[in-house]
């Protein structure tokens, strides 16, 4: 019988208060388990406490209360160098006068690792980030994405069990960023170590992660796979932050959903049809709502429609421009339209979480 391994990271009622006027509760009693080898993301708006959690795990910030375990060991009071983690920041600084290989080797030199061991590990780390042939170059001879990979190699060379990444792609432009997301995921899969990744970009989190924790004001609102937090958000905050905020509340909810509460519907689940007499009725039993088209935004593969409902809410619908029977091409701002959807795609989202 094999015992289940302890989680790579366990946070137990982790708390951080910053003194000042007024004092700030940056991290509000967070509980979290991150599994061995997971690509785990902390997603949330600026100021929601993500960096502070990461800094406490790395040992750069002391918790006000709570406990941090790595591989089942309590490291809460340990020095940063005594924890088997490494951090990659957005503002990585490479030494410009040193070669790529020397940059990666530097940390091992400081730790007095033997020369032979250093060579092996530098070669291995460069290989892992697919820069095996670039060791002799200077940082200035690399592209932005390659420099980012050197920063990653500098962390991997220490062979940490956990890699902490704080918005590492934040400074890259969109194209490069998307390219690096694919690279990063592949590297993590190859290397097999646990990645704890911080981002405020919901698409990035959805693309990369095995699981995601959605942060709001120092607390975790939901933990789940990308599909779970997107398809089944548990709160209005998660529904709005992960994806387009299509919320029905109050009077609009009563009229459209015929129930009290707050509800979310994802844009791609809504079907837009012109209300001009030519359109057939929605299938029987399918809920509908009518309104006026406020915006039509053509986006290449998809078109986005913003509809001001007669019942009072504003909803966004997203349609594939597949060419066959799409209503989009014919619709204009100001047109009267009908939205319809499958009732099972209406998600109950309480406004507040109970603690
Ligand atoms: P995020 O990374 O999600 O943007 P942070 O963890 O950086 O959020 O910050 C969480 C909250 O803690 C914010 O309100 C921020 O202003 C505050 N904060 C972070 N670091 C400090 C500090 N050293 N002193 C005082 N307040 C801080
Ligand atoms: Mg941050």
All domains in the chain, ordered by first residue: 9-233 (3.40.50.300), 246-348 (2.40.50.100)
Q: Is the pLDDT of residue 65 over 70?
A: yes
Paired tokens of 119: 């060579």
Residue nearest to atom 2 of ligand 1 (CA): 51
Q: State whether the beta carbon of 47 lies less than 6 angstroms from ligand 1.
A: yes
Residue nearest to atom 27 of ligand 1 (CA): 18
| Ligand 1 nearest-atom number relative to CA 20 | 25
Q: State whether the beta carbon of 243 lies less than 6 angstroms from ligand 1.
A: no
Distance CA 258, CA 280 (A): 23
Q: Output the pLDDT for position 91.
A: 72
| Tens-place pLDDT, residues 220-275 | 999 999 999 999 999 999 999 998 879 999 999 998 888 889 999 999 999 999 88
Tell me which residue of 15, 38, 18 sits closest to 27, measured CA to CA: 15
Q: Is the pLDDT of residue 95 over 60?
A: yes
Question: Secondary structure of the chain in the HEC alphabet?
Answer: CCCCCCCCEEEEEEEEEECCCCCEEEEEEEEEEECCCCEEEEECCCCCCHHHHHHHHHCCCCCCEEEEEECCEECCCCCHHHCCEEEEECCCCCCCCCCHHHHHHHHHHHCCCCHHHHHHHHHHHHHHCCCCCCCCCCHHHCCHHHHHHHHHHHHHCCCCCEEEEECCCCCCCHHHHHHHHHHHHHHHHHHCCEEEEEECCHHHHHHHCCEEEEEECCEEEEEECHHHHHHCCCCHHHHHHCCCCCEECHHHHHHHCCCCCCEECCHHHCEEEECCCCCCCCCCCCCEEEEEEEEEEEECCEEEEEEEECCCCEEEEEEECCCCCCCHHHCCCCCEEEEECCHHHCEECCCCCCC
Output the CA 51–ligand 2 centroid distance in Å: 4
Query: Confidence band (pLDDT; 50, 70, 90) for 68?
Result: very high
Tell me which residue of 274, 277, 276 sits closest to 296, measured CA to CA: 274
| Tens-place pLDDT, residues 128-166 | 999 999 999 999 999 888 998 999 999 999 999 999 999
| Ligand 1 nearest-atom number relative to CA 44 | 3
Q: State whether the beta carbon of 170 lies less than 6 angstroms from ligand 1.
A: no
Residue nearest to atom 26 of ligand 1 (CA): 18
Output the CA 58–ligand 2 centroid distance in Å: 14
Beta strand 347-348 with 263-264 is antiparallel
Report the predicted TM-score, pTM, of the whole model to 2 decimal places.
0.89
| Tens-place pLDDT, residues 8-47 | 999 999 999 999 888 999 999 999 999 999 999 999 999 9
Best residue among 15, 20, 24, 205 to mutate for probing ligand 1's pocket (most ligand atoms within 8 Å of CB) is 24
Residue nearest to atom 13 of ligand 1 (CA): 47
Q: State whether the beta carbon of 48 lies less than 6 angstroms from ligand 1.
A: yes
CA distances from 165 to 14, 60, 204, 239, 327 (A): 19, 14, 13, 25, 43
Dihedral (Cα; 192, 224, 71, 208), 10-degree rounding: 30
Residue nearest to atom 20 of ligand 1 (CA): 52
> Of residues 256 and 115, which shows the higher confidence score?
115
Q: State whether the beta carbon of 50 lies less than 6 angstroms from ligand 1.
A: yes
Output the CA 228–ligand 2 centroid distance in Å: 24
Q: Output the pLDDT for position 352.
A: 60
Residues 6+ apart with CB under 8 A from 97: 138
Which-ligand-closest: CA of 56?
A: 1
CB 179 within 8 A of CB 199: no
Tell me which residue of 180, 167, 218 sits closest to 31, measured CA to CA: 218
End-to-end CA gap in the chain: 37
């Amino acid at each position: 019988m094999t015992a289940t391994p302890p989680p790579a990271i366990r946070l137990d009622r982790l708390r951080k208060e910053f003194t000042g006027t007024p004092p700030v509760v940056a991290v509000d009693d967070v509980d979290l388990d991150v599994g061995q080898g997971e690509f785990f993301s902390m997603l949330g708006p600026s100021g929601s406490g993500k960096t502070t959690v990461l800094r406490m795990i790395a040992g750069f910030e002391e918790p006000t209360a709570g406990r941090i375990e790595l591989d089942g060991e309590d490291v809460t009071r340990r020095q940063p160098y005594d924890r088997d983690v490494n951090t990659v920041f957005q503002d990585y600084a490479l030494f410009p006068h040193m070669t790529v290989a020397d940059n990666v080797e530097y940390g091992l030199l400081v730790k007095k690792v033997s020369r032979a061991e250093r060579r092996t590990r530098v070669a291995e780390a460069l290989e892992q980030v697919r820069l095996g042939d670039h060791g002799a170059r200077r940082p200035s001879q690399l592209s932005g994405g390659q420099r980012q990979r050197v920063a990653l190699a500098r962390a991997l060379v220490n062979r940490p069990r956990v890699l902490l990444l704080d918005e590492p792609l934040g400074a890259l432009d969109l194209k490069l960023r998307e390219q690096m997301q694919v690279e990063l995921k592949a590297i993590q899969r190859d290397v097999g170590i646990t990645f704890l990744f911080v981002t405020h970009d919901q698409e990035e989190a959805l693309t990369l992660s095995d699981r995601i924790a959605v942060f709001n004001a120092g607390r975790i609102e939901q933990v789940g796979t990308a599909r779970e937090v997107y398809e089944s958000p548990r709160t209005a905050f998660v529904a709005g932050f992960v994806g387009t905020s299509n919320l029905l509340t109050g009077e609009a909810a009563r009229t459209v959903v015929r129930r009290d509460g707050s509800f979310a519907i994802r844009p791609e689940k809504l079907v837009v049809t012109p209300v001009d007499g030519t359109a057939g009725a929605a299938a029987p039993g399918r809920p509908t709502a009518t309104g006026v088209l406020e915006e039509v935004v053509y986006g290449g593969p998809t078109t986005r429609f913003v509809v001001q409902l007669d019942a009072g809410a504003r909803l966004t619908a997203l349609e594939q421009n597949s060419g066959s029977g799409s209503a989009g091409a014919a619709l204009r701002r100001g047109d009267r339209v009908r939205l319809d959807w499958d009732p099972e795609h209406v998600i109950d989202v309480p406004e507040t979480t109970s603690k």
